[in-house]
Amino acid sequence: MSPEERARRKQFVQQFGWGGFGDEDVDLSLSLDPQNPTPLTGQQLGTLRTDIQKLLEGRKDCSDFVNALLKNVAAATQRSLYSTDPLKVFDAVAGQRGFFLAPGQGAGGYAWGSIGTGDAKVTLDISFGGFSFDRGLVALHEVTHEASGTKYQLYLDRDLALASYQVAVAQGFKGVPKPPGTNDVNANSQYYTERLFKACSPNQRR
Ligand SMILES: [Zn+2]
């Protein structure tokens, strides 16, 4: 990333908060995070993995959707896939720089580094006192950013928003809105999370 791009992003973060660029190869959190991110404990890591697993196993719609989504985004971006199994991606990230709690970071989750370069990391602003579903959804979102097997290249929120639209339509979800007509990170991140919610929430259906 160029110094200009880094400065631009830094300004963006200061102005709008963390949106999850999803393609960071420079750890902005070192200079910007107000609180030091702390690594998840082994117990929290196990809980988070179970949160994702519950979503995938709770509704076949969810695992089918995520599987197709990852294949779609890999083809559309021409970035190879590390794995179509979010739990394998989770384990790979956990074995690298890993998962951190970063309260007040300004977004539920944020993906850093890449599995291909061996420095994948996810920072989360989530509560282990809250609902499994809420944690699982945030974690699943971030894990799909890290599912790329291409060095330095994560799947971006824009990539995932477009793929989630195509897959939702192809799989017969009803009333799927068009994806944002912009590259705005927050708009695309939110749109993508809504598609995951529709596919994975126990209270939603196609
Ligand atoms: Zn995202």
Q: pLDDT per residue over 85-95, tens digit each? A: 999 999 999 99
The answer, yes or no, to whether residue 98 has pLDDT greater than 70, is yes
Confidence of residue 36 (pLDDT cuts 50, 70, 90): confident
Q: Which of 46, 24, 18 is nearest to 124 (CA)?
A: 18
CA of 144 to the centre of ligand 1 (A): 8
Q: Token match 């929430």: residue? A: 201
CA of 139 to the centre of ligand 1 (A): 10
CA of 189 to the centre of ligand 1 (A): 5
More confident residue, 138 or 106: 138
CA of 112 to the centre of ligand 1 (A): 11
The answer, yes or no, to whether residue 178 has pLDDT greater than 90, is yes
CA of 25 to the centre of ligand 1 (A): 15
Phi, psi (rounded to 5 degrees) for 100? -130, 150
CA of 145 to the centre of ligand 1 (A): 7
Instruction: Quote the tokens at residue 66.
Output: 């995520």
CA of 59 to the centre of ligand 1 (A): 22
Cα first-last separation, the chain: 40
Residues 199, 176: Cα–Cα separation, whole Å: 11
CA of 21 to the centre of ligand 1 (A): 7
Q: How many CB atoms lie within 10 A of CB 100?
A: 19
Residue-wise over 175-199: b if at least 16 C-beta within 10 A, else e? ebeebbeeebbbbbbebbbebbebb
CA of 96 to the centre of ligand 1 (A): 19
Instruction: Quote the tokens at residue 201.
Output: 């929430």
Counting every residue written for the chain, the total comes to: 206
- Per-residue pLDDT, averaged over 24-40, amounts to 59
CA of 142 to the centre of ligand 1 (A): 6
CA of 66 to the centre of ligand 1 (A): 14
pLDDT of residue 58: 93
Lowest mean pLDDT among 11-15, 64-68, 154-158, 172-176: 11-15
More confident residue, 131 or 30: 131
CA of 42 to the centre of ligand 1 (A): 24
CA of 105 to the centre of ligand 1 (A): 14
The answer, yes or no, to whether residue 31 has pLDDT greater than 50, is no
Confidence of residue 105 (pLDDT cuts 50, 70, 90): confident
CA of 124 to the centre of ligand 1 (A): 11
